[in-house]
Chain A
Amino acid sequence: MLALPFLGSLGVAALPRGARAAAAWLAGAVALAAAAILLAHAPDVFAGGVGRWALPWLPLPGADFGLRLDGLAFLFALLVLGIGALVVLYAAYYLDPADPAPRFYAFLLAFMGAMLGVVLADNLILLVVFWELTSLASFLLIGYWKDRAEARQGARMALAVTGLGGLALLGGVLLLGQAAGSFKLDVVLAAREAVQASPLYLPALLLILLGAFTKSAQFPFHFWLPHAMAAPTPVSAYLHSATMVKAGVFLLARLYPVLAGSEAWFIAVSATGVLTLLIAAFLAVFQHDLKGLLAYSTISHLGLITLLFGLNTPLAAVAATFHILNHATFKASLFMAAGIIDHECGTRDMRRINGLWKYMPWTSALGIAAAAAMAGVPLLNGFLSKEMFFAESLRVGQHPVLDTLTPLAATLAGAFGVAYSMRFVHDVFFNGEPHNLPRTPHEPPRWMRLPVELLVLICIGVGIVPALAVGPILALAAGAVLGGPLPEYSLAIWHGLNWPLAMSLAATALGVAFYFALQKLYGLHDRAHFHRGGKEIFDWIVAAARSGADRLTRYTGGGLQWMLLLTLLAALGLGVWAFLAFGGGPAPGPGRPATPAEIAVALLGAAAVAATVVLHRRRFLALLPLGLAGLVVSLAFVWFSAPDLALTQLLVEFVTVILMMLALHWLPGESPPEPGIARRLRDGLVAVAAGAGIAAAAYAVMVRPSPSYADFFLRESVPRGGGSNVVNVIIVDFRGFDTLGEIAVLGIAALAIHALLAGFRPAAPAAAPGGRRSEMLRTVAALLLPIATLVAVFLFLRGHNLPGGGFIAGLVFAVAVLVLYVARGWRWTEARLALRYEAWIGLGLLAAGFTGIGSLFVGHPFLTSAFGHPVLPAVGEVPIASAMFFDLGVFMTVVGATLMALSAIGRLGPPVKDDEL
């Protein structure tokens, strides 16, 4: 049953835009079929049984995908499907041929399904799920006429407000589930004491009520509903009579057994109810828009229902349930009538629509009957529930003041109700002739009127023979609401002369008087709409939020240095905090005193660094001290027993500086001065602080004894790594995997550079490089290449045992080629060397990768090395280790990547003129 509407929705959505009739038929069929299934369950529901069906879903307590059909659910499901079917029929005639009908019915069915889900859900989570779905579907329905601004706004407002409620409800439901120990309704409904004793009760209650009130458009969240009137009238008839807004009061009814009965419930619910009831009823009188009037009356009737639930008495709950039913019927018929009128007259302005009695007597009769029901005229259903309401208002019995206030409020509300009903009837159907209507109204097609007729029939039937018409189902639903024995009550028109009757009469008289007074003395028609605060406040909040967010985002957004600063400060701040929080500090071990020479070198380095900073704006110049600083670093490496590092550092240094020089040909040679010292001062402070922090950490660790596990490498390097240069063995064997990643990075960088500069031809160099090269340089360069190649091979081979290895060898070779480039120019060199860099990179990576895979074939994991030691003349013992092929891959990748990067920049345009050769 639940699945049907959703499937139908998809089916309809699949229909072509033009297929109006088909869509309508399908939708109607779906609604009726679902209703049939529902009625099939009727017997056992009336027998007091509760239909259940569940699939396992969420691994949360009781959060299965479960359905539950009890009296309340049955009543609501019946309303949803029954009125749904009528609306479908009605819409078939209402919709304009221009409107895409399939979309309409698809949304409508989706909404129907969601609503069914809400009433049938057997646990709170599922209820929230479908609850949110109704919000979404209504968003689409209200925004159906997407080209109308008010439709878009109305839709967004409805979604925002009900969305707020939905989120609140989610929170509240979670708390409730926590308090009750499960989300399953059976459990929750039975856990009244436990829940109301729990500290979570109050927050849960408030959040859930927030959900219910937003949905049922209770004050102060009522404002979205009138704006939702921008929707096509069938939608209004559906959403605002039987479904959407009823979801809120349904929630109140559903959770009545567990939440109600407390002081908090009484205050929150009844106060909200009574306020809404009065305010909305009052405002309704002053609407000129037909649908506006109905919208406000809907709000006030919902307020009435809420109030009844809030009264905490069983009878009130019964009355509430009864009124839910009644309101659904007469309000749906009224909306449809309004729709017909709108349809026939082309306007909904009651100042222009008058005296329709002459033009469409039959529709008028229906409208009048329904309006009378709304006003609570005897022999109509509205009367009965109103009587019950009055009766209940008399025995609140909580507090003397309330005892007197409530009946008064009730009567007053009744009076307003009569007034706006009067206005509806009198203004529309009588009160002279219509003024300049777009078209002359006449009776609508037979089938368009049918739904209204049926609904009005129900109103009358219930009104005259209530016990017969609704007795059983009401008892059923009310029983489910109370979750206990029903109180004594009798459904009859005549209870004898008693207070409620008196109140009714008073209300009617007052209402009529009030209306005509307004009409005559106040000149109702000339007055503008009452200013509705809600929308403005809402808009203001949204606008404020947006502009605030805007400012925030723009202020914090973007700039690189700002982001860098935040990053550094975060590191610095957290670091200091963590250190202070967890204590400990440099356990001062005996440092080794520094010799004057060492200090001198250090000072040289310091000077170089300082010079780099000072000269940084004159870029070419700054490269010299930078290089010097690098040199000192590599000296440090040599001195502290790291020859490989020193060598690598030097070569990388060399290549980097060359790269920078090449790049500088395409960048300004100088940085413009920065205005203002403040920023530089700030940056300086941050820099110094960070530097101090790093220095402190370094010192603190250096003076501690080393816990390193590196003895293993020293021990195993020769016997199992097959090399005596432990660093190199680590690189190609113990941690060869790091190296694999490292060369990958190098290759990737080269590819990125290549991709970025491919086909990039900048204008003339920013700075013209000087002079031509001497003959000597050429010859040197020419000689250098073969020598360097030899050196590279040598370094490569011995690398496993003495400083050297694939990476260093690769750099040496690259540097040699680089020198040749400088000496001969790019084209000359590349013409002769014809190196395909991608190939070097790709093959290098492949070599490394396949070396690793090789070991899989002998059953060893990736990158396991195997080796032997043949002795070569001049080089000495050479490890023919699988590690060596790996190292070969390293070599190739390094050469390819380095040269690719260099030539990509170099090729941009010769920094030095090419020789014509």
Chain B
Amino acid sequence: MNHWLIAPIVLPLLAGAVLTLVEGRAPRLARWVSLLATLGFLAVAARLVGLAASGEVSVYLLGNWQPPFGIVLALDRLSALMLLLTGAVALAALIHALGGWDRRGAHFHALFQYQLMGLAGAFLTADLFNLFVFFEVLLAASYGLLLHGAGPERLRASFHYVVLNLTASALFLIGVSLLYGLAGTLNLADLAVKLARLPAGDAGLAQVAGVLLLVVFGLKAAILPLHLWLPGTYAAAPAPVAALFAIMTKVGIYAIARVFTLVFGAGEGAAAQVLLPAGLATLAAASLGALAAGSLRVLAGWLVVASAGTLLAALGLAGAASLGAALYYLIHSTLIAAALFLLAEAIGRQRGAAGDALAPGPALARPALLGALFFAAAAAAGGLPPLAGFVGKLAILDSALGTPAWPWLFGVVLVSGLLVLVALSRAGSLLFWKSEGSASGAAVPAGEWLPVAALLAAGFATVLFAGPVLGYARAAAGQLVERGGYVESVLGARPVEREPAR
């Protein structure tokens, strides 16, 4: 059994615990602990990607109990990919936060590490209830981070966010236990097997549980009509937190991809029928929202929603090719969204009172640097070449051609692409060109623009090495759709020999 699998969860847990002890007393030390822990997380994630790339599903039996009875962690290409992405975004966000955000309130670094723990757990666990627990961990941490620095706007947004998610958690519990009541197990692989053998009379109830879970994940992923909370919340969040949240919506997407392909089977069941239309509707609504956005952060928020819609629509196509394309798109959209949130803060700082509002404001002191970064980020987000947004969209559309739904997908994706383009060009010309009065802001500290540049560079790397990256994404998708391997590895795993009880 490979103990690396537990590391992404335990490392941040211990770091968080230590930080809980020291952060109040030794803030400098806390920063180092947090930074090192995050670097370690990234390293471990990279190691795990290497492990998963071989194509075998690594399984970890917690407490050394025979599956499906104990809790099981399973690492396949998808989980590894999500972990790596988390690590990358987290590092960028943390470096940005070290610029001063982390001092605006207590316990920032501890909460940050717990957040990582929750994310890692959600991506690794192969147990439905355990998934709920880790959802709660990452949500609880996100509440704390969202509240970081307080302020009425942030408090209102947080209250909404918490109440909505608690409601969702209630639905989650109902869905999980309903499945348990019907299939008598919580292990995802085991559920896949048991649900297939369910007596006809129980199918309806099982599907009800399925759609309840879909609503839960849909709220996280911000899918129409559950998307309204996102732009406001993300805009209210501290910049580094918003950047980290870019991965949070993807947790919802991940959960949908995992549960509805593994447990219910790709393209089967009630939930699967909803994905495509819901995704397209979300995309359309989001591009309109982007057009109406009044500030860059809100605009970025809508772009997050748009990417969620695109991903969901691709998932709805349910083919391995579409899924692979979607995963590729997921990588880039996460990186770019994070970059945009960090960038919005830097730009806002430069424009003084005007902040990142999409209205004429004072000129920037560093228009060249920020302008270049914004231009790249916008082009990527707008799905323009040469950045990955384009390649991802391309791959998704191409994969759709086989299916009867292609005209819909083409129509919505291309038109919304145009709307987003208009919105972004408007934003750009308002922020960088239409300036009133002279530069007010000071220089842009490296800690502010370096993470952005790094994220964009990472995004660009996914285009440069589109071959291997897309290859990996497709392999991951194949592994996901062909669920036999996962199920066998999980249920076939055996505990290590242990001495009998004395």
Contact = CB atoms under 8 A, between A and B. Distances in A.
Question: Do A and B touch directly, given a CB cutoff of 8 Å in the complex?
Answer: yes
Interface of A: 56-60, 103, 125, 128-130, 132-133, 135-136, 139-140, 143, 146-147, 149, 152, 155-156, 159-160, 163-164, 166-168, 170-171, 174-175, 177-178, 542, 545-546, 548-550, 552-554, 556-558, 560, 562-564, 566-568, 570-571, 574-575, 577-585, 587, 694, 697, 700-702, 704, 706-710, 712-713, 716, 719-720, 722, 733-738, 740-742, 744-745, 747-749, 751-752, 754-756, 758, 838-839, 841-843, 845-846, 849-850, 852-853, 855-856, 859-865, 867-868
A575 B6 contact: no
Contacts of A749: 140, 143-144
A849 B136 CA distance: 18
Nearest to B133: A741
Contacts of A861: 1, 3, 6, 60-64, 495-496
A863 B73 CA distance: 13
Contacts of B470: 58-59
B255 interface: no
A748 B65 contact: no
A46 B397 CA distance: 39
The binding surface of chain A is classed by DSSP as helix
Given A125-B394, A578-B270, A734-B70, A585 B204 contact: yes
Contacts of A752: 107, 111, 140, 143-144, 147
A580 B470 CA distance: 40
A205 to B, nearest CB: 15
B281 interface: no
Contacts of A850: 14
Contacts of A171: 397, 410, 414
Given A129-B390, A156-B426, A862 B6 contact: yes
A872 to B, nearest CB: 18
Given A707-B183, A734-B65, A745-B140, A560 B160 contact: yes
Most buried by B among A177, A579, A735: A735
A146 B432 contact: yes
A579 B204 contact: yes
B386 A156 contact: no
A578 B211 contact: yes
A748 B141 contact: yes
Interface class of chain B by DSSP:
helix
Contacts of A849: 10, 13-14, 17
A587 B215 contact: no
Closest 7 CB pairs of A and B: A707-B184, A752-B144, A842-B20, A584-B204, A578-B270, A146-B433, A129-B385
Nearest to B464: A57
B211 A571 contact: yes
Nearest to A893: B17
A234 B288 CA distance: 37
Interface stretch (B79-87, B166-174, B310-318): B166-174
A748 B114 contact: yes
A130 B390 CA distance: 12
A747 B134 CA distance: 14
Given A581-B270, A734-B70, A755 B147 contact: yes
28 contacts: A58-B395, A132-B390, A156-B422, A166-B384, A170-B414, A566-B225, A570-B225, A574-B215, A578-B204, A578-B207, A578-B210, A579-B208, A581-B270, A582-B270, A583-B200, A584-B200, A584-B203, A694-B174, A704-B202, A710-B184, A734-B65, A735-B129, A738-B71, A740-B13, A741-B136, A744-B137, A752-B144, A755-B147
A177 B401 CA distance: 10
Contacts of A856: 3
Interface residues of B, number: 131
B103 interface: no
A628 B66 CA distance: 42
Nearest to A738: B133
A59 B467 contact: yes
A126 B64 CA distance: 52
A734 B21 CA distance: 29
Which of B71, B171, B174, B401 has the most CB atoms of chain A within a 10 A radius of its CB? B71
B391 interface: yes
Contact of B421 (A159, A571, A751): A159
Contacts of B417: 167
Interface stretch (B226-234, B239-247, B335-343): B226-234
Nearest to A156: B425
A849 B18 CA distance: 11
Nearest to B174: A694
B384 A868 contact: no
A132 B385 contact: yes
A756 B147 CA distance: 7
B212 interface: yes
A570 B429 contact: no
Contact of A560 (B6, B148, B159, B200): B159
A449 to B, nearest CB: 33
B416 to A, nearest CB: 10
Contacts of B432: 146
A581 B211 CA distance: 12
Contacts of A563: 160, 164, 226, 228-229
Nearest to A548: B288
